[in-house]
A = this chain, B = another copy of it.
């Protein structure tokens, strides 16, 4: 398998990007192509012990920065995002991974890769980070304004993914809403309810956020605006609570004295805490988006993974891991088949 990685992607490119590629090549042995400014990427790669790893560099003289408007995509024909996308289109690689400007990756995917024939709009699909079991949520931000037909196609793409990558057949599909009854939600949600109920999928009706955290569906569909707000709210709440706990527990004189008084207790707890380490690690992992890597851009004609701008090397490695899974599960072919079937 050959995966091309945008070396100029993350907020701190090329450091985490190149490091993540090295980790992925070492762990899985896949061929990784780094696309970006050759000098910069080569210098960064030289910092790693990567001489024996299957990593090569493809030069892309331009960079689309995080703050740039998506129209930079048209102007910068030789940006790393566009060079990578074209190589994917030409079949030179199996997947493209970028933690760069999401809007630019989306625009380039639609422009250079094109949509899969029959697909109306693309969707970003990813695992919801706060749930008892895996829940695949889409759209997380590709298509802000949706129609019921788009959401039905998102569901079909989600089923293709969950069946072929997670191995769950006939997955349960929920529609994100603010109440369980069919007449709850916006006009879009109510209309989509009818379309999904009649579509022959395993539809379990409207789901609220608390049901998502309880794994009440394998797939949850929503428009890209609501999905993005839900995901960003999830991140914001988790990070606020962590910040708040830390600040409350370590700020103020009473707390400082309290903490000092607790030192003997904390020391006495160490043997017990050591045994609990695996659990504590699991908790941290659960909240760490680096574990998930990124989102799959679905509906375009190739495997594209969009990583988080704040990605560290582990997140980049895991984004490459997600690309591998999508390629191994042949998700593209599964989506094409489902869409063709729908259109008959």
Number of residues of chain A lying within 8 A (CB) of chain B: 69
Would you give the 0/1 interface string for A182-222, flagging 1 where the beta carbon is closer than 8 Å to chain B?
Answer: 01011101000000000000000000111011000000000
A258 touching B276, Cβ below 8 Å: yes
- Closest CB-CB distance, A99 to chain B, in whole Å? 16
* Inter-chain contacts of A280 with B (CB < 8 A): 248
A131 to B236, CA, bound (A): 10
B232 touching A229, Cβ below 8 Å: no
B209 touching A249, Cβ below 8 Å: no
Q: Which residues of A contact B (CB under 8 A)?
A: 69, 130-131, 141, 144-145, 176, 178, 181, 183, 185-187, 189, 208-210, 212-213, 223, 225-226, 228-230, 232-241, 244-245, 248-249, 251-252, 254-255, 257-262, 264-276, 278-280, 282-283, 286-287
A185 to B267, CA, bound (A): 50
Main secondary structure of the interface of A (DSSP, over half): helix
Chosen A-B contacts, 22 in total, with CB atoms closer than 8 Å, are A130-B240, A141-B178, A144-B187, A178-B229, A185-B225, A186-B223, A208-B232, A209-B232, A209-B237, A210-B232, A226-B226, A229-B230, A233-B233, A233-B237, A237-B237, A237-B238, A254-B279, A258-B275, A261-B271, A264-B268, A265-B266, A265-B270
